[in-house]
Every structure is written in C-alpha cells, then in structure tokens.
Amino acid sequence: MVQCYRGASRAAGAFEPLAFIQQPHTGLRIVSWLFSLVIFGCIANEGYINRPDEVEQFCIFNRNQNACNYAVSMGSLAFLCCMAFLALDAYFPQISSVKERKKAVLADVGTSAFWSFVWFVGFCFLANQWQVAKPEDNPLRSGADAARAAITFSFFSIFTWATQAFLAFQRYKLGADSALFSQDYTDPSQDAGTVPYSSYSAGDALESPGGTRSYQQSGDGVFDGSAGYQRQEY
C-alpha cells in the first residue's frame, strides 16, 4: 500500500532514515539514479570511436553525434533530477503547508512522467541508430558492450520513472481524498488550545469539595451559591 501523507501535526517530526529508505518511491529513485549514471558513464567513456585509419572520433551510434549527445545530456540531467527529488523526499515530512505538499506531489507526478517519456524517446533513438550502424565504421567492435548497456538501461528507465509517476499519482489521490488537502484543515494538536472554554451558567449548581451541593439563601428568599460549602457548628 502506498504511504499517504502525514498530517500537519507530524510535519515537524525528525527525519527517520529507515522509514525513508523503506518507501517504494525512494527505492525507485535510487535505482533510476543508478541507471542514469550507467548510461552517462557508458557513452562518455566508450561511446566515441574511430577507424584504425582515422584520428577523429565519432559517436558509436551510426556516427550520429546527436545520439551520443542525447544520451549524455539526459543521463546527467536525470542524475541531478534524482538527487533533487531524493532531497525533496527527505524534507517532505517537515513541510507543514498543505498547499506546498500538494505542489510537491504534483511536481513529482509531472517530472516522473516527463522522464519516462524522455527515456522512451532515447531508447527508440539509440536502438534505431545502433541497428543501422555500419560494421565498417567499427571493425574492431570496440564499445559495443557499452552501447548495448546504454540501450538496455534506457529501456529499464522507462519503467522506473513511469512507476514513480504512478506512485506519486496514488499519493496525490490519497491526499486529495483525505482532509489534508482541505482548506479548513486544522492541526489536531492545536485544537485543544484554540477551543474556548464553555461559559458558566448562572443557574448551574455549585458542588462542594465532597461532591454535595450547598446553597445559601439570602434574605429575599433567593438561593445564593457563592458562599460554597459552610461548616456546620454543633
């Protein structure tokens, strides 16, 4: 079950590393972070090759520089995005504003869906350029494993980011169905301090410390309870 929002009364709680790591979206962010790092490393280190009779290096994907540039750029940006959202997840329990929490979750939904689409485009682009690459451009087949790894992890990244978008949307729905997104929501811990005391009615009977009621009758025949309990002399 996806974990729903914490109430505003717990928003200022201390950071709990174990609970943070056990959250499903946290694990997916770490996995996506690793995938982006692998894609970036594969292309940056082994994505540029040249023929034995050439000096200038070209992209391993059909000598299309746009393919390598796309993989390197998206890999580095996705790496930074994962770091940013991991920091946001760690700070999220301390956000007391309901509107700010709602904005954070909506940003998570949109960003995760965007990156899922980006990696879908990247997977199709890299796979197509790898398929049409000419064998004579890379007779030694150097960097082939790195190219296949970049394509494979681009494919996996589609699903990790799509799952993050799904989990974020579930969190948004659970929050929208609860009182946390209500404009009238008040902190339960502050209710006792804000509720005024009920006024004392003049007709209410006074009780003595022993639990028995005592009255004092005035001269005009009206009972006066202001005297409270009076000791009887024998």
Q: For residues 106 and 169, what is the distance between their CA atoms, to the nearest angstrom?
A: 8
Residue pair 164/30 in contact by the 8 Å Cβ criterion: no
The residue among 119, 223, 106 whose CA lies nearest residue 175 is 106
Return mean pLDDT, the chain: 77
pLDDT 10s digits, 174-230 = 876 664 454 444 444 444 444 443 444 444 444 444 444 444 444 454 445 455 445
Using DSSP's 3-state secondary structure scheme, residue 216 falls into strand
Q: Kindly state the tokens that stand for 182.
A: 């209500």
Q: For residues 204 and 206, what is the distance between their CA atoms, to the nearest angstrom?
A: 7
pTM: 0.68
pLDDT 10s digits, 63-79 = 999 999 999 999 999 99
